[in-house]
Amino acid sequence: MSPRRYNLGKRAQSVEETRRRIVDATFQLHNEKGVIGTSMQDIADRADVSLHTVYSHFPTVDALVGGCANKVIALLSPPGPDIFHGLDAIEPRLGKLTRELFAMYERGALQIETARCEASEVAALAGFVAGDAMSREALVREALRPLRVPLRRMRSVTALTDFYVWKAFNLQAVSTHRAAEVVTAALVALISPSQTGEGRRTK
C-alpha cells in the first residue's frame, strides 16, 4: 500500500471515529436534556471536539437527530408483521400486538416521549412520530387481517395500544406484562368473533 493510500485510509478512519463520538454524545445528551435542551456546544464538549467539527458533520439539529436514528431504532427494535406468524385466531394476535408494542414502549419510553413532546419544534422528530404512527396503524391492520373490522373499531384498537396508554399503567406502577393483559382483554371484548357479522360491514 502506498503512503498516500495509507494516509487516506487513516484519515477516513479518524473522520468516522469523530462522527461516532459526536453521535454517541448527542444520543446521551438528548436522553439527559431532550433535543431542544441540548446545544451544539454541549455536544462538542461531551464529544471533546470543536464546535466547528460538530457543524461540519451535522450542520443542523435535524441532521443530529437523523444521525442518532440507528441507535434509537436499535433500542426500540420495533415489531413487524412477522410477529403474527403462525397465529390465526384473533385473541392471540391481539395479545401479541399489545405485548410487543408495550415492550417497545418500555424499552424506549424516554426516546418516544421526547420525540412526541418536541415534535412540533424539531422537524426530524415530527417525521419520526409520523412514521411511528403509520407503522403502528399498519401493525394493527395486520393483527386484524383475519376479520373485516370497521374502521371505527380499528381506530379504537390503535388508540388502546398507544404509548400513552402504556404510560398511564406505568404511572400507576402496573407492570408492562399486566398492562398488556388488561388491554388485550379489552381489545378482545371490542373485537370478538361473535361480532364479526357487524365487522363485515366495513365503514
Q: pTM of the entire structure? A: 0.86
List, for the chain, all residue ranges whose pLDDT scores fall below the cut of 70: 1-9, 12, 193-203
From residue 4, give the alpha-carbon distance in Å to each of 24, 47, 49: 30, 28, 26
142 and 111 Cβ atoms separated by less than 8 Å: no
Q: What pLDDT does residue 2 have?
A: 57
Give residue 168's identity as a one-letter amino acid code. Answer: A
